Amino acid sequence: MSRNIFRYSTVIASLLATALFAGCGSSNKEGSASSLANVAKVDEASCRVCHSTSVEPVTGDNILQDYLGSIHNLNTFHKVGCQDCHGGGAQHNGVGPIPYTNPDASGKCFECHQKYLPKAHFAVYTAATHPAQYVSSLYQNSCTSCHDPHKADKGITPQHGEWAESAHGDVNGAAWMDEDFKENTGCIRCHTATGYKNYITSGWKLATTTFATAGDKTYQVLTCDACHSNYNFKNSVRAAKQYVAPYNSGKSPATFPDVGNSNICISCHSGRESGATVLAVTDTAISNTSFKNPHYLAAAATMYAKGGFTAFVDDPANTLSGTVGKDTSGVTREFKYTESLTTTEDGGQLGSTHRKFGTSAIIGDHGITSGDTNMTTSGPCIVCHLNKGGANGAAHTLKIDIYAGDQVCKKCHAAEITTDGTTATNTDATKLATFLEEQHAILGEAIGLASKILKDTYKITFNPDAYPYFYDDQLGLDASGKPQAVKDWTRSKVLSTALSAKDAKRLMGACFNIQLLTKDEASYAHARTYSRRLAYDTIDFLDNNAMDRSVSVTATTLQPTIFVKGTSADTATGTTDAMLFLLGYDRKAKTWNSPERP
């Protein structure tokens, strides 16, 4: 930071030289449209006398004390007085008007700082594609969305720097600058701060209008005021209602549990479509329709088992809801995917320790007590990603770094992530990273197996980097040399017998799951059992279009070096981690489940 200030100060010093003559925010300001702008200044000391006990309306702090400690007052080359912001006090004296009661809303901050703000804050872009910025058009008179006006630099909290480094504050993040998202009512709730504020304050009402204005090409990042209602950050997290995701254009809504502040995260990280959208494709359309994309980083959709396609078997009512079904030998079996905060794995319900984080359901699990409020409040997303046990309060990097490791993970994973079994220190950082990377790679093996069957049997190439991700090998390249997307999900030109409409939807559903687990690349941690079960069923369907629990045979036949099943569920007997991910087993007894589905 200190280097930053030095550089900035040099710039401001030269600004000052100009400012004194041209009058940037100084008392010599001329030519302003407002007559109030010309009100003469009085001695600053007079303001201080009368306002010595005035209280900041938002933070409740003493204005004068805040101001005296701010860099506006303390810097040695251009002191910014009360009147440089509020305007001259000659008519005021406590009873008359002061020119700018809220200088920020009147554009005073932007006016003075505009030309000297670092690029991430503000830049005038002319090119067609360009980064997003902190001070986009609607924020030019709203620095207080992210700054405390009287504290100035003392109001830059540790969270400011962390946010600036995070994906939410990344002006080069594709999700903020890939296109002008404020022009599209379907996107603004997740891709712009203003759209999100409207969404959360309306209790999740979908936008019917945009806020795009002609000529405005600025793009927003996820500003502090998206999640905080004002600059008293500690006490201003916006109240978020329980979230209902409007999947399938609202026709297949999914209600998420009410998990306090983590409701904020769920609303953007639940994806745009669920398996229900695939099911809703009509039988006639399935031979000529585009892939239904779950969208990206849908961590909540996997954690709460709302996202995946699960209708691989007929249920008795033949609604394809995929909860109970008959296997190939005619035996009715459970195919449950129901999540629950309180039950543990029982063959049907999907238990999950991680899902219980930040709720009272975690009390008693792995020795977590009600006194451990960092583990029992604010919901799961915040417990792991904005963990708050440290010296600076809630971390805003979003990272699962060694700090998260020490505050949260080591309570249960000390063996995996610490050297001494108790504290996760910086030297343990690689242990945590390796632990996560290994699990990520194992998930990748399952996705790799599914993709291999797609390619070999269905002549479909999965390219995770190019929308719409699933390409038809049979069609080859189009006239302009580009691969062509799959549209015929019955694979009538590829298979000797085309898939029935029902199975064609299941094929798209399998692709949907592959994409969901690829784009929530931490689904191995967000939803351990759910992601294993989705992967299992996807492969079980793909290998012969029948749910006959054939995955271990398929895996060992197709990729014998990656998938090895030893006599017990233990790497000591030659079993590979990739196989352990795919099949059900007893963690303690290390015995394989029968039947083998996880």
Looking at the Cβ atoms of 160 and 459, the one nearer to ligand HEC is 160
In single-letter form, the type of residue at position 422 comes to T
Looking at the Cβ atoms of 40 and 477, the one nearer to ligand HEC is 40
Out of 32, 101, 328, 332, name the contact with ligand HEC by CB under 6 A: 101
In single-letter form, the type of residue at position 149 comes to P
Taking the complex as a whole, the smallest distance from the CB of residue 449 to ligand HEC amounts, in Å, to 19
Task: Count interface residues toward ligand HEC (CB under 6 A).
Answer: 141
Binding status of residue 167 toward ligand HEC by CB under 6 A: yes
Q: Which stretch binds ligand HEC (CB under 6 A): 115-123, 285-293, 443-451, 495-503?
A: 115-123
Among positions 200-229, residues that touch ligand HEC (CB under 6 A) are 222-224, 226-228
- What distance in Å separates the CA atoms of residue 255 and residue 14, rounded to the nearest whole number? 56
Out of 219, 291, 337, 357, name the contact with ligand HEC by CB under 6 A: 357
Out of 29, 182, 306, 396, name the contact with ligand HEC by CB under 6 A: 396
The answer to whether residues 353 and 345 touch, using CB atoms and an 8 Å cutoff, is: no
Out of 29, 59, 173, 247, name the contact with ligand HEC by CB under 6 A: 173
Out of 59, 83, 194, 515, name the contact with ligand HEC by CB under 6 A: 83
Looking at the Cβ atoms of 238 and 502, the one nearer to ligand HEC is 238
Looking at the Cβ atoms of 296 and 335, the one nearer to ligand HEC is 296
State the Cα angle at 42 between 41 and 48, rounded to 5°.
120
Q: How distant is the alpha carbon of residue 244 from its chain centre? A: 17
Looking at the Cβ atoms of 227 and 453, the one nearer to ligand HEC is 227
Out of 39, 82, 313, 534, name the contact with ligand HEC by CB under 6 A: 82
Out of 36, 206, 237, 498, name the contact with ligand HEC by CB under 6 A: 237
Binding status of residue 130 toward ligand HEC by CB under 6 A: no
- What distance in Å separates the CA atoms of residue 581 and residue 277, rounded to the nearest whole number? 27
Looking at the Cβ atoms of 141 and 321, the one nearer to ligand HEC is 141
- What distance in Å separates the CA atoms of residue 352 and residue 362, rounded to the nearest whole number? 10
Taking the complex as a whole, the smallest distance from the CB of residue 377 to ligand HEC amounts, in Å, to 7
Q: Name residue, tokens 């080069």.
A: 172
Binding status of residue 233 toward ligand HEC by CB under 6 A: yes
Q: Which stretch binds ligand HEC (CB under 6 A): 95-103, 202-210, 307-315, 542-550?
A: 95-103
Q: How many CB atoms lie within 10 A of CB 58?
A: 16
Taking the complex as a whole, the smallest distance from the CB of residue 505 to ligand HEC amounts, in Å, to 23
The answer to whether residues 482 and 498 touch, using CB atoms and an 8 Å cutoff, is: no
Taking the complex as a whole, the smallest distance from the CB of residue 26 to ligand HEC amounts, in Å, to 7
Among positions 409-448, residues that touch ligand HEC (CB under 6 A) are 409, 411-413, 436, 439
Looking at the Cβ atoms of 39 and 313, the one nearer to ligand HEC is 39
Binding status of residue 258 toward ligand HEC by CB under 6 A: no
Out of 119, 366, 482, 493, name the contact with ligand HEC by CB under 6 A: 366
Binding status of residue 123 toward ligand HEC by CB under 6 A: no
In single-letter form, the type of residue at position 595 comes to P
The answer to whether residues 571 and 432 touch, using CB atoms and an 8 Å cutoff, is: no
Binding status of residue 67 toward ligand HEC by CB under 6 A: yes
The answer to whether residues 302 and 531 touch, using CB atoms and an 8 Å cutoff, is: yes
The answer to whether residues 220 and 121 touch, using CB atoms and an 8 Å cutoff, is: no
Among positions 535-594, residues that touch ligand HEC (CB under 6 A) are none
CA distances in angstroms from 373 to 120, 232, 368, 408, listed in the order given: 36, 22, 10, 12
Looking at the Cβ atoms of 25 and 325, the one nearer to ligand HEC is 25
Residues in contact with 62: Cβ distance below 8 Å, sequence separation at least 6, in sequence order: 53, 54, 55, 56
Binding status of residue 339 toward ligand HEC by CB under 6 A: no
Among positions 25-54, residues that touch ligand HEC (CB under 6 A) are 25, 42, 46-48, 50-51, 54
Provide the Cα torsion 231, 233, 234, 239; round to 10°.
110
Out of 39, 98, 138, 278, name the contact with ligand HEC by CB under 6 A: 98
Binding status of residue 398 toward ligand HEC by CB under 6 A: yes
From the list 273, 320, 321, the residue with the least C-alpha distance to 301 is 273
Binding status of residue 495 toward ligand HEC by CB under 6 A: no
Structure tokens at 94: 């406590």
- What distance in Å separates the CA atoms of residue 86 and residue 108, rounded to the nearest whole number? 8
From the list 393, 399, 400, the residue with the least C-alpha distance to 378 is 393
Q: Name residue, tokens 């220190």.
A: 425
Left (φ > 0), alpha (ψ -120 to 50) or beta: where does 152 sit?
left
Number of residues that make up the chain:
598
- What distance in Å separates the CA atoms of residue 533 and residue 372, rounded to the nearest whole number? 31
From the list 468, 467, 478, 474, the residue with the least C-alpha distance to 498 is 474
Binding status of residue 408 toward ligand HEC by CB under 6 A: yes
Taking the complex as a whole, the smallest distance from the CB of residue 492 to ligand HEC amounts, in Å, to 31
Structure tokens at 391: 């010296």
Taking the complex as a whole, the smallest distance from the CB of residue 122 to ligand HEC amounts, in Å, to 7
The answer to whether residues 293 and 466 touch, using CB atoms and an 8 Å cutoff, is: no
Looking at the Cβ atoms of 310 and 321, the one nearer to ligand HEC is 310
Among positions 136-155, residues that touch ligand HEC (CB under 6 A) are 139-140, 143-147, 149-150, 152-153
Looking at the Cβ atoms of 507 and 516, the one nearer to ligand HEC is 516
Q: Which stretch binds ligand HEC (CB under 6 A): 30-38, 68-76, 281-289, 482-490?
A: 68-76
Taking the complex as a whole, the smallest distance from the CB of residue 259 to ligand HEC amounts, in Å, to 8
Out of 34, 93, 426, 593, name the contact with ligand HEC by CB under 6 A: 93
Instruction: Using the Cα atoms of residue 241, residue 246, residue 247 and residue 251 in order, give the sign of their dihedral.
Output: positive
Out of 261, 451, 531, 575, name the contact with ligand HEC by CB under 6 A: 261
From the list 553, 552, 561, the residue with the least C-alpha distance to 582 is 552
Binding status of residue 182 toward ligand HEC by CB under 6 A: no
The answer to whether residues 248 and 277 touch, using CB atoms and an 8 Å cutoff, is: yes
- What distance in Å separates the CA atoms of residue 227 and residue 438, rounded to the nearest whole number? 33
Out of 521, 548, 570, 577, name the contact with ligand HEC by CB under 6 A: 521
